[in-house]
Structure 1
Amino acid sequence: MAAPPAFALIATDLDGTLLRGDDTVSDRSLAALARATRAGARHLVVTGRPAPRVRPLLDGLGCTGLAVCGQGAQVYDAGADRMLWSVRLDRELAETALGKIEAEVGQVYAAVDQDGVDGLTLIEPGYLMPHPTLPAVRVGRRDDLWCEPISKVLLRHHTLSDDELAAIARSAVGSLATVTMSGPGTVELQPCGVTKATGLALAADHLGIAAGQALAFGDMPNDIPMFDWAGRGVAMANAHPELKAVADEITTSNEDDGIAVVLERLFPTD
């Protein structure tokens, strides 16, 4: 009988982790993930991107199972193209949270990810998409952001750094929402208590996999809850210092096949 895999679940963030700067996955990383899968492990994408913005990437990875999207607010079944679970951010809470933040820092620029498998990303005047390759619809005024239910709000400020904006937002918002930072130019408000760990825990339970059997890869502070939940957390060399501080291991960068480096060690042969 074949030995069980070193980890039954491989949870990978996308931007800055599995994806290279051009939004592609290297052949080496694909081969390492395939080898882990043949050994019996499950690969689960855990990303801040909403499900509609992840679908083409999942197709390219050959993923037909579950994916955790929207910072944990969505558990998406790629094969069936449907949500198994999703949480919405209340419009009134979102508007109140934005008002409290702007009372502290002045004007911010906002965008939203709509809920659902066909939800759009809407951006208000002045907001610049941190990922110019991701599709977004510009609206005429902030009130237009709330035309449909949303899963999260994305924030930018014209002078504050991401770290500064995130820290002030957490203090201002309190329990109205969860504040996280998922990449350059990406400070986000999501439903209170929702993190990558909550979505990952739901998906893992659906698959019958315990937290201690999970190996997680990430690069930003929004991956900290996922590292806290998983049996082992691996930060990329390009990771934010806050994530490196809580990681069990630091691998090479996303441009240097950091995920493959670890998986090749843990799954040396088929």
Structure 2
Amino acid sequence: MSKIAFFDIDGTLFWPGIGIPDSAKRAVDQLIKNGHKAVICTGRSRGMVPESYFHMGFHGVICGAGTYVEYEGNVLHHDQMTNDEIKKVIEWGRKEKVGIILEGDENGYYDSKNCDETYKTMRKKTEHNCETILQPLEEAVHIPKWTYHYLKPEKKYEIEEILGNRYTGIYHEPEDAVEFMPAGINKATGIACILENCGIGREDAYAFGDSVNDMEMIRYVKYGVAMGNAVPELLKEAPYKTARADEDGIALALKKFELI
């Protein structure tokens, strides 16, 4: 019987300076050849996932931490912010003097008026890792989520209230960033959407991640796996663990589960 595996990108499939390790590429390819399903499940919006990833044979993608769900060419779920919400996010972020990245279906967008050197460095790193060129905020269209960089975690409640609590922020300590997505939406809701569509149960589902926004999906599937480089909260929560992403963690785990 076919199993299904969901893979986060950053820190799971992808490692800075390496990209996707060859061992992970071969493992995913063999997983698919063995008759199983493979799905990308990332916090990145669709416009910030390199096109080459979509040619690796994945059966589906969950982007924007659950805001966009696609399986075998069919879009199953798609959230988008209103123009008024985007305007409020930009105005409030500039007032608070934080780094703004709007994450869209076609592209990512940055604040060209923000001359802070730390923000510029972060933007260049994002462009390098996502193999894209961010566009100015004023050109933003089709935005499902956004991230504030260098925002104090306790301040996130202000923008949540301004937007009627329709969005929830998750603090990423290593990146000093708060990631916002629609309330009630996360990677687990995206996985549930795909499982309902493909007819595979949670007991035959595997998920691999390393960050706090992977917590829900790790809890949701039967086989939740934390990478060796995962944040402490996820390592504590995950029932299964593997090696770091740059130390063949994906390949080792898929072999351990006898999926390849």
Match of 2:108 in 1: 121
User: Which stretch of structure 1 is more off in the superposition, 121-130 or 217-226?
Assistant: 121-130
Deviation at 1:83, TM superposition (A): 3.6
Tell me, which stretches of 5 or more residues in structure 1 are unaligned? none
- Confirm or deny: 8 A CA contact 1:97 1:177 kept in the other structure: no
CA distance in 1, matches of 2:237, 2:146: 26
Match of 1:153 in 2: 146
Q: Aligned ranges for residues 47-196 of structure 1 at < 5 Å?
A: 47-63=42-58, 65-77=59-71, 80=73, 83-96=75-88, 106-115=96-105, 119-125=106-112, 126=114, 127-128=119-120, 129=123, 130-133=125-128, 134=130, 135-139=132-136, 144=138, 147-157=140-150, 165-170=152-157, 173=160, 175-181=165-171, 184=175, 186-196=177-187
CA distance in 2, matches of 1:34, 1:267: 14
Deviation at 1:172, TM superposition (A): 5.7
Deviation at 1:34, TM superposition (A): 3.0
CA distance in 2, matches of 1:218, 1:228: 11
Deviation at 1:173, TM superposition (A): 2.0
Report the TM-score when normalising by structure 1.
Answer: 0.79
Q: Tell me: CA distance 1:35–1:168, structure 2 relative to 1, closer, same or farther (3 Å).
A: same
- Confirm or deny: 8 A CA contact 1:9 1:215 kept in the other structure: yes
User: Which stretch of structure 1 is more off in the superposition, 173-182 or 214-223?
Assistant: 173-182
Q: Does 1:259 align with 2:245?
A: no
Deviation at 1:76, TM superposition (A): 2.9
Deviation at 1:131, TM superposition (A): 1.9
Q: What value does the CA root-mean-square deviation take over the aligned residues?
A: 2.8
1:139-196: CA deviations, max 9, x gaps?
2xx6x26x52311112112xx6xxxx34542576252312125672543211121111
Deviation at 1:239, TM superposition (A): 0.8
Q: Tell me: CA distance 1:168–1:246, structure 2 relative to 1, closer, same or farther (3 Å).
A: farther
* Percentage of pairs with the same residue: 24
Report the TM-score when normalising by structure 2.
Answer: 0.81
Q: Does 1:199 align with 2:194?
A: no
- Confirm or deny: 8 A CA contact 2:24 2:248 kept in the other structure: yes
- Code of the residue aligned with 1:137 in structure 2: it is L
Deviation at 1:268, TM superposition (A): 6.7
Deviation at 1:23, TM superposition (A): 5.3
Match of 1:235 in 2: 226
- Confirm or deny: 8 A CA contact 2:81 2:142 kept in the other structure: yes
Among 238, 243, 248, the residue aligned to 1:247:
238
CA distance in 2, matches of 1:100, 1:167: 15
CA distance in 2, matches of 1:211, 1:223: 16
Tell me, which stretches of 5 or more residues in structure 2 are unaligned? none
CA distance in 1, matches of 2:259, 2:197: 28
Secondary structure at the counterpart of residue 229 of structure 2: coil
